Amino acid sequence: MSISKALTIAGSDSGGGAGIQADLKTFQELNVYGMSAITAITAQNTLGVHGVFPLTAEAVVQQIEAIGSDLGADAIKTGMLFNSEIIEAVSEQIKIFNWSKVIVDPVMIAKGGASLLQDEAVEAVKNHLLPLALIVTPNIPEAEVLTGMKIHTLDDRRAAAEILHSLGVKNVVIKGGHVENENQLVDLLYDGTEFSYFSSERIETKNTHGTGCTFAAAITAEMAKGNTVYHSVETAVSFIQEAIKEDLEIGQGHGPTNHWA
Ligand code: PLP
């Protein structure tokens, strides 16, 4: 039996809610074989990130080489990359293996405030990774850091998407979940020509840990299966809605969204 394969290059969340763990659970849920290259280990639970232990770029490269030289991957997702050395090494491997379905979740700061990307590494994301990416999936604060602009209105979001597209990434998804006081959330997709909008109801819950990771992992799984960018984003939007509805009340803090009933 053959199966589509997806690789996540990201950080480990010991609490199982975000990062590598969320990605692998999502791949499995969407019937895609999941593989991982770990960039950093976090000591983490629903209350927050208590420690960050990055691996060396060499350790990351060897994991990717092991996968690329044997199993191969139909789509790749990057999450927490932590520093510019790891970003440059990962970008090099993407070129070596000629991977084209590259989904970049530009993870920067965890909900509790812990830094998952060093300040010095933002330029490396823009200069090395985004030119190789098929899709980038920032939330609004991440889009602000990557573009240097403040984003208030939907017009601002469209302008930010155009700036990100000019950095070389083919499709930009700006997630609407961080807009406050709105019941209707709009995720925006820009393919360099057209804007598409995906609207969903806000679900009131504190259990949203790992939402961004799970969303980008769902896009990656759908791309691995050979679906179009539009279809993959559309599927991921409804997938994450369902996952948030099925939130778990476990731990004392922000429960995870990567469990399915
Ligand atoms: N920890 C890791 C390893 C992650 O990759 C991410 C993803 O963005 C997070 C934590 C963020 O978690 P939260 O959804 O609580 O902000």
pLDDT of residue 104: 98
C-alpha of residue 2 to centroid of ligand 1, in Å: 31
| DSSP labels, the chain | ----EEEEEEEEETTSSSHHHHHHHHHHHTT-EEEEEEEEEEEEETTEEEEEEEPPHHHHHHHHHHHHTTT--SEEEE---BSHHHHHHHHHHHHHTT---EEE----B-TTS-BSB-GGGHHHIIIIIGGG-SEE---HHHHHHHH-----SHHHHHHHHHHHHHTT-SEEEE--TT--S-SEEEEEEE-SS-EEEEEEE----S--BTHHHHHHHHHHHHHHTT--HHHHHHHHHHHHHHHHHT----SSS--BS----
- Alpha-carbon gap, residue 31 to 33, rounded angstroms: 7
Minimum-distance ligand 1 atom for the alpha carbon of 114: 10
Minimum-distance ligand 1 atom for the alpha carbon of 12: 3
Contacting residues for 245 by C-beta, under 8 A, at least 6 apart = 203
List residues with catalytic annotation: 175, 208, 210-213
Q: Which amino acid is at 218?
A: A
C-alpha of residue 187 to centroid of ligand 1, in Å: 19
CATH code at 5-245? 3.40.1190.20
- ipTM, two decimals, is 0.92
| 10-residue stretch averages of pLDDT, the chain, 261 residues long | 96 97 97 98 96 98 98 98 98 98 96 91 97 98 96 95 98 89 88 96 90 97 98 96 88 87 61
Q: Pocket residues for ligand 1 (CB within 6 Å)?
A: 10-11, 13, 18-19, 42, 44, 79-80, 107, 110-111, 116, 209-213, 254
C-alpha of residue 193 to centroid of ligand 1, in Å: 31
In the numeric block, which tokens belong to residue 247?
């939130």
pLDDT of residue 76: 98
pLDDT of residue 261: 61
Report in angstroms the alpha-carbon separations of 69 from 5, 54, 65, 102: 14, 24, 6, 17
